[in-house]
Amino acid sequence: MGGGGFGGPGSGAGARPGYGWGAPGAGLTRAPGASAWNPAWGRQGGYWSSRTWSTGWYQTYPAAWPWWGASSVAWGVGSLATAAAITSAVNAASYQQSTVIVVPQTSLQLDYGSVQALPPNQVQFAYGVAGMPLMTATSDCKQGLINGMAPTTADQAQVLNASCHIAYGSN
């Protein structure tokens, strides 16, 4: 797929500024619902220090989610992306002035700039699949639910985990 598409060379972390979804600049192609770059993210502390809500309590621990055991076996997934991998993806995208990351271990793109904490434990965000316009979803980070239901695929579990880390995790 050409520049700016999902998983293409012009998307996510590593994309050059002004190119791809969520990037700044004139004439860019922006997916419906994609957030704009926030210049505050380029300052000391980046995206992580710009969160205005309580953070630091979320840790990747899917065993606490009642659906994880049987589902992870069925999907052949032993673990979810680590906090370090998600943080690295956000930092790399932020450095490139992009608001979109590829969720580790998936082909999904998550617009981290769209992440809105809904305290005490929910998060709303936009993500995309296979070149389609961005969709919004709401996750419950304590119960491990996406749009009020347990994930039905490993990719959904990964985007749930990534959105929760971006909203409530430590950088």
46 inside domain: no
Query: How high is the pLDDT of residue 21?
Result: 41
Local confidence band at 44 (pLDDT 50, 70, 90 cut-offs) = low
pLDDT at residue 26 greater than cutoff 60: no
24 domain-assigned: no
Instruction: Tell me which residue range forms the domain holding 76.
Output: 1-18+31-39+59-171
Instruction: Determine the pLDDT at residue 22.
Output: 42
Count: domains in the chain: 1
138: exposed, middle or buried (Cβ count in 10 Å: 0-12, 13-18, 19+):
middle
**50, containing H or E segment:** helix 46-50
Structure pTM? 0.76
Tokens for 88, please give them: 């690295």
